[in-house]
């Protein structure tokens, strides 16, 4: 359990007040503030190979104190630690991402299940390129409307399938697991040249009216359906964009990957 001072710092980081009780209304506010404050990014995959990517309590330094983001293996465990410290019952679940060539590995994605005293259970995910802004009720039939679209959770023989606007995103295994179970998959994402996190360089954050994404030196901003694209002039402009749009400073730039011909990288918006 993380200490009270770190909880306070975490809440300040995401611009959220400490909830009076661990209920669904507070959970909704906490996830929304987290999604709008902590970017989905993979910059550490493109620094030196000895750059640590961790999933345990050490990740809180990166997200809270250095005001960075990360992938699902970093963002969701960090959010889970915050929720547990605030009195929520949290379980870690593995999920398989739908890819063009079929379902990915069982530990390809990490999500949270939050169970409340009123008997309700919620899917919490703040670390996916198309995650909902607010928690999704598990066991609720039909679409659930969210600022990011219409989500639906469907019980299938293989698990709990999540779809956005009718498009399947991932399949959740309802059996809880341990954070260390994701170690081999993190190693694969970290080291295999063909992994999606090695083939692209991105930092993306939803806003109240759209999204801002920096992929290499290309800044894309979407607001109320209007999209603008800007190629930044040099490294100094890229560093300034990280600070202006995502709220953190870097002392050097990550090394951009060389994309295969015809590839556009990870779809973020």
Catalytic residue list contains 72 = yes
d(CA 14, CA 267): 25
Catalytic residue list contains 109 = yes
Catalytic residue list contains 44 = no
Cβ contacts of 232 within 8 Å, gap of 6 or more? 217, 218, 219, 238, 241
3-state secondary structure the chain: CCCHHHHHHHHHHHCCCCCCCCCHHHHHHHHHHHHCCCCEECHHHHCCCCCCCCCCCCHHHHHHHCCCCECHHHHHHHHHHHHHHCCCEEEEEEEEEEECCEECCCCCEEEEEEECCCCCEEEECCCCCCCCCCCEEECCCCCEEECCEEEEEEEECCEEEEEECCEEEEEECCCCCCHHHHHHHHHHHHHCCCCCCCCCCEEEEECCCEEEEEECCEEEEEECCEEEEEECCCHHHHHHHHHHHHCCCCCCCCCCCCCCCCCCCCCCC
**Sheet containing 218-223, strands listed edge to edge, beginning at the edge strand earlier in sequence:** 40-41, 202-206, 210-215, 218-223, 226-231
User: Could you say which of 72, 146, 165, 200 is catalytic?
Assistant: 72
User: Could you say which of 44, 46, 125, 200 is catalytic?
Assistant: 125
User: Could you say which of 44, 46, 109, 203 is catalytic?
Assistant: 109
Active site residues: 72, 109, 125
């Amino acid at each position: 359990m993380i200490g009270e001072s770190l909880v306070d710092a975490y809440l300040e980081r995401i611009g959220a007040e400490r909830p009076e009780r661990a209920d669904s209304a507070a959970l909704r506010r906490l996830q929304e503030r987290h999604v709008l404050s902590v970017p989905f990014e993979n910059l550490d995959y493109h620094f030196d190979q000895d750059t640590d990517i961790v999933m345990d309590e050490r990740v809180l330094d990166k997200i809270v104190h250095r005001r960075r983001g990360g992938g699902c293996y970093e963002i969701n465990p960090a959010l889970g630690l915050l929720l547990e410290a605030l009195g929520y019952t949290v379980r870690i679940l593995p999920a398989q991402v739908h890819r063009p060539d079929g379902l990915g590995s069982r530990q390809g994605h990490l999500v949270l299940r939050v169970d409340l005293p009123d008997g309700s259970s919620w899917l919490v995910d703040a670390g996916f390129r198309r995650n909902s802004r607010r928690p999704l009720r598990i066991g609720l039939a039909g679409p659930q409307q969210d600022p990011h679209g219409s989500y639906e959770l469907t019980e299938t023989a293989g698990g709990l399938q999540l779809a956005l606007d009718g498009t399947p995103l991932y399949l959740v295994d309802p059996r809880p697991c341990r954070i260390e179970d994701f170690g081999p998959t993190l190693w694969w994402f970290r080291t295999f040249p063909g992994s999606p996190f090695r083939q692209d360089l991105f930092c993306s954050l939803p806003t109240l009216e759209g999204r801002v994404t920096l992929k290499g030196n290309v800044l894309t901003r979407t607001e109320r359906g209007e999209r603008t694209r800007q190629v930044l002039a040099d490294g100094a402009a890229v560093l300034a964009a990280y600070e202006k749009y995502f709220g953190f400073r870097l002392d050097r730039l990550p090394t951009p990957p060389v994309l295969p011909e015809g590839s556009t990288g990870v779809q973020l918006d």
